[in-house]
Structures are given as structure tokens and as C-alpha cells.
Copies of this chain bind each other. A is one copy, B any other.
């Protein structure tokens, strides 16, 4: 059985924690597993190096940032290999390059183009535990590249795919995916299983555990992901393909996203292309639009609503102002939040959305915007009711059972 394990920055945050990881890896080895272990930089290291760079420049060259930041993972990889060797295990540390990871030329946010797993496979054949510095590769010019924040998850998933590993275990300080944020609803339950798509829709819940890019790649490559804690022996959550079994569960989780601001454009000319123009301009300005709502208009005019991260509202206002000939007016509201109900079960079960609306109505919470997908219902409500809504929905869908 070949397992790829990935330990995040908190899990390797100091020397004692690296020793703890060495113990966990050794235990898996004693269970007879072949192992490739991907590690992040010790927590704080990457931020320290970024601060160093910003001492010299507000906008340091991305190529040099990649050389700078990739050093942190190398340190952890070498230390973990040394720790395992000291325990009598044959381990070898590899950089992203040595592990065969080749990326495109996009420094600081490179995409993995191909992986040549030969060196890893040879080491595994020789009985070695392979430790790989996460977050990094090289491009075709031989320059060091990094994969963006959370890139070590991506390294792990990609290596698991290239090696046809039986599973990929992502270790952090959280022991899995919960039905909702336990800080909001103490009755939140850890899920045993969740589908890739549900995980993607619950990204704001899972961001601390797994980056969306990694989940997408795992889905594409069919890699079975486990989100586990490196600080406990709990089972964690399996993220995998949907199974029929899963659809029996209507709803997997409810999610609160407080980083939302609402924009409503009133009296938008109901002509083809106007929405495209507005959203193209927003994209050009690197404004991340989340929900978009447009109703059928009357009198050739329609209302168009969308949400953006709160920090991007000012920039969004500027874009909207540039369309003042095409709209009658605009409303902005920073004091909103998004509550989402996620579950593959709702594909085949009517009434999930209706129940959400009823629950909020029963709590006298006004729903300002609604957006639905096959496996998610999202609602924009007044920010101050966010936690209340989450608890009400969590109970209504019996997620604590």
C-alpha cells in the first residue's frame, strides 16, 4: 500500500512537532506502508521570509521570491529525513525538482505541468521513505517555482496522482471536515465522508484544512484524500467520489462566510452584453465576484446583484461608477454575510432549499439574495444574523445527529 502523507506548517511548527511527525511516519511504516511524505515550511518561516523581502521592496520579483520561499520546505524535509534516519528508518529528502515536479513559468503561483516519479519510485523500491519539500518545483528553464499558498497540499495530491498512490493523507491541526464551524455551533459533527464537490462548495469551512485547488486536482486525478490531524489519532474525513450511499445524507454541512459585501445595480438596461461588460471590467480589476443574481426585468430594465469580498468593495464601486450611463443607481451593503447549505443529497431530493428558506423565515431573518447550484443553496442575509442562521439550519437538517 502506497500512501502519500502531507504535514502542514503547524504540524511541523517546531523541532518537537517534527519529532512527532517522525513518530507518525514511523508508525505507518511499521504497518507496512510505502510512504511519500510531503512537508510544508515550519509555521512562521514563510511569513518571516516574506517580511524580509518586503524590507527591501513592496513588490519583490516573483522569481526571486520563489527562490527565497522554497527554502523553508527544504529545511523541513531535510530535518524530517534526519529524524527518521535517527530512528533507524531509511529515508531520503528530495526537493521539488528531485521529486520530478515540473511546472509552468508562473512564478509564485505555478501550475504543475508534469511529474516524473522515477526518482521517487526508485527510492521506494530501495525501501526508502521519501520526504519531499512541498510547495515547489522547477520550470523548463530550471528556475525554482512555487505553487502558491497551500501549495504543499497540491504537491501531495499531484504526487499521489503520479505515483498512483492508494490514498493521500493531509495532516493539519484540524481533525477533519465538520458539518459547520464548531466555534459557531458546538454541536457540529465531524463528517466521516464528503464528496469532492461538497468539499469545494464548503471551501470557506475547509480552507484551513484543504485548499480548493488541491480538492479540484484530487477530483480530476481520482485521488482519495483524507483530512486528518497530526495531533490526534482520530479517523479524519475521507474526501472522495460521490457514492450512492452519500446521497442518503441530504445535507453535509452549513457554512458561514462573513467576508461578503453586496452590490445591487438598479435599473440596468436590459440589453444583451451589459452584464458581460460589467463583469469583464470587474475581472480586469481582479475583483473576485462570488454570487451573481439577475431577475427577469420589466420595462426593459432589470436589477443585477452580486457579492464581492469586503476588502474589494471600494474597487467594485469605482467599476460600477464607470457604468453610470447604463444604470439608474446602485446600493452597497457591507453588513451582509452568506450562509450556505451544502449536500449532494439535494440533487435528488426536493425541498432542501425550501426548508432553508422556512427555517430563516421562522427566525425572522430576511433573505436578501438567493443563489442555488445542484448541491448548494446560498443566501445573503444581514451579517448580524449569521451565527443564528447557521445554528438554526444545523438543527433543522439534523446535522448534530
- Which residues of A are in contact with B by a Cβ distance under 8 Å? 15, 18-19, 22, 49, 52-53, 55-57, 60-61, 63-65, 67-68, 70-72, 74-75, 77-79, 81-83, 85-86, 92-93, 95, 97-98, 119, 142-144
Report Cα–Cα, A67/B93, bound state, in Å: 8
Report Cα–Cα, A56/B22, bound state, in Å: 10
Interface centre among A18, A72, A82 (most CB of B within 10 A): A82
Report Cα–Cα, A67/B96, bound state, in Å: 12
Residue of B nearest to A55 (CB): B15
By a CB distance below 8 angstroms, the chain B residues around A86 are: 56-57, 60
Q: How many copies does the complex hold?
A: 2
By a CB distance below 8 angstroms, the chain B residues around A52 are: 15, 75, 79
Report Cα–Cα, A277/B144, bound state, in Å: 51
Choose from B53, B61, B85, B142 the contact partner of A60 (Cβ within 8 Å): B85
Report Cα–Cα, A157/B65, bound state, in Å: 27
Q: Is the CB of B68 within 8 A of A71?
A: no
Choose from B15, B67, B82, B142 the contact partner of A77 (Cβ within 8 Å): B67
Q: Is the CB of B68 within 8 A of A79?
A: yes
Q: Is the CB of A64 within 8 A of B93?
A: yes
Residue of B nearest to A82 (CB): B60
Shortest Cβ gap from A117 to chain B (Å): 14
By a CB distance below 8 angstroms, the chain B residues around A95 are: 67, 144
Report Cα–Cα, A75/B72, bound state, in Å: 9
By a CB distance below 8 angstroms, the chain B residues around A142 are: 97-98, 119
Q: Is the CB of A82 within 8 A of B98?
A: no
By a CB distance below 8 angstroms, the chain B residues around A143 are: 98
Choose from B55, B65, B81, B97 the contact partner of A78 (Cβ within 8 Å): B65
By a CB distance below 8 angstroms, the chain B residues around A55 are: 15, 19
Report Cα–Cα, A77/B63, bound state, in Å: 12
Q: A15-B55, A64-B93, A70-B74 are in contact. List 6 more A-B contacts (CB 8 A).
A: A60-B85, A61-B85, A63-B92, A64-B85, A67-B93, A71-B72
